[in-house]
Amino acid sequence: MSLFSAVQLAPRDPILGLNEQFAADTHPAKANLGVGVYFDDSGKLPLLQCVQAAEQALMSKQAPRGYLPIDGLAAYDSAVKALVFGAQAPAVQDGRVATVQTLGGTGALKIGADFLRQLTPSAKVLVSNPSWDNHKALFSRAGFEVAAYRYYDAARRGVDFEGMLADLNAAAAGDIVVLHACCHNPTGYDLSAAQWDQVIAAVKAKGLTAFLDMAYQGFGQGLAEDGAVIGKFAAAGLSFFVSTSFSKSFSLYGERVGALSVVCESKDEAARVLSQLKLTIRTNYSNPPTHGAAVVSAVLNTPEWRALWEKELGEMRTRIKAMRQALADGLKAAGVTQDMSFIVNQVGMFSYSGLSKEQMQRLRSEFGVYGTDSGRLCVAALNSRNIDHVCQAIAAVMK
Ligand code: PMP
């Protein structure tokens, strides 16, 4: 009997599994719309010019690679605060926000989850139905019971807002609610400003703890527009969590650049919270890596590069929108008679297409078009070369 004889084989990550299948596919017109990655019109992962400029400057300095502080690069943390909350926001000015550099958005969620688990172990965590799969997995693994609140309404092709609100109102005081700040993954349907006000009122009335996951700031309507919900939570006087990811907005997926911010009631409280976040980090991986945060911080803090970043981010956002329109138009041209205009109304990288598991499997096996079984397509991976094939393929499985 070995120590590991009873160890079960864990299921493969469904999306990474799709990637492997895609790599092995010999279809000449194959298209990978499975993974949540932005590709440019030539199908390549971009290396942003602002990143290249900052990297060149960093390399020419030949800086030694000492340990960073446990909470990361100070200039990075303050740039994140300014970006997420606004430099002049009262919470930032009052020193009520504790921000730490993390290993991507996932790292921010995990540090937040571990801290919350110490703080409030019996709270339930509510995630949207559906949500990014790792939300449930990560909070469960951190020891929480995870339940879902209603979100997607297939018949209406939008948000089941009454259902969502009813579920939040039925939650127990102290429960943690994970909310997508913008560009909901996987559905592409966001709440309106008025709906957010109602969510905030419910969170406040029921004494819930909001955890806003912002993995796509700038990919929806714009940096300020996408971040507006954070200002609303702060203005409501709530204590809440925000996870930030720069994986998509800087195209720095592999550098693992993210941040966790916790808005507190006072400066003293924020200092105590920060000390606990640091303890959580210290006992997990001691301190974060230097390169990605140095690049992001240089770009955010240098006006010329910052302007370049905003331009490049705007171009990615505009291209995604153009691809949404091209997909909706192309499906019509390919003979789809159903109203597919919802594709244009969705925001962010993804489109919940409404296609069934069987249709998604046919897309893969017959046409080499890869999306998830849930019907999610990454519109940020469409381009002028693959769009026609994708439209023909979808039209064929919808017949
Ligand atoms: N939250 C959501 C909703 C996401 O879609 C993702 C990335 N797919 C993340 C968090 C994690 O981002 P990162 O890759 O920076 O860890």
pLDDT at 30 (0 to 100): 96
Q: What average pLDDT does the segment 173-195 reach? A: 97
Query: pLDDT by residue (tens digit) across 117-130?
Result: 999 999 999 999 99
- Ligand 1 atom nearest the C-alpha of 256 is 15
Tell me the pLDDT of the chain averaged across its residues: 96
Rounded CA-CA distance 104/230 in Å is 19
Mutation probe of ligand 1 site: the residue of 38, 131, 245, 352 with most atoms within 8 A of C-beta: 245
Residue 343, token pair as written in the block: 């594709």
- The one catalytic residue among 110, 114, 132, 226: 132
Say if strands 158-159 and 176-180 run parallel, antiparallel, or are unpaired: unpaired
Mean pLDDT of 32-49: 96
Residue 1 Cα, ligand 1 centroid: separation in angstroms? 39
4: pLDDT strictly greater than 90: yes
ipTM: 0.99
Which among 327, 227, 241 is positioned nearest to 276, based on CA atoms?
A: 241
Residue ID of nearest Cα to ligand 1 atom 1: 215
- Full-model pTM: 0.96
Catalytically annotated residue among 213, 226, 278, 305: 213
Rounded CA Rg of the chain: 21
16 CA distance to ligand 1 centroid (A)? 14
Q: How far is the CA of 60 from the centre of ligand 1 (A)?
A: 32
Per-residue pLDDT, averaged over 377-395, amounts to 97
- Residues having CB within 6 Å of any atom of ligand 1: 36, 104-106, 132, 180, 185, 213, 215, 245, 247, 258
- Confidence category of residue 201, pLDDT binned at 50, 70, 90: very high
| 11, pLDDT greater than 90 | no
62 versus 316: the higher-pLDDT residue is 316
213 labelled catalytic = yes
Concatenating the DSSP letter of every residue in 138-201 gives HHHHTT-EEEEEE-EETTTTEE-HHHHHHHHHTSPTT-EEEEESSS-TTT-----HHHHHHHHH
- Is residue 248 part of the annotated active site? The answer reads yes
| 121 burial via Cβ count (<10 Å: 0-12, 13-18, 19+) | exposed
Q: How many Å lie between the centroid of ligand 1 and the Cα of residue 333?
A: 34
Q: Is 110 a catalytic residue?
A: no
Res. 330 pLDDT band, cuts 50 70 90: very high
Q: Is the pLDDT of residue 63 over 90?
A: no
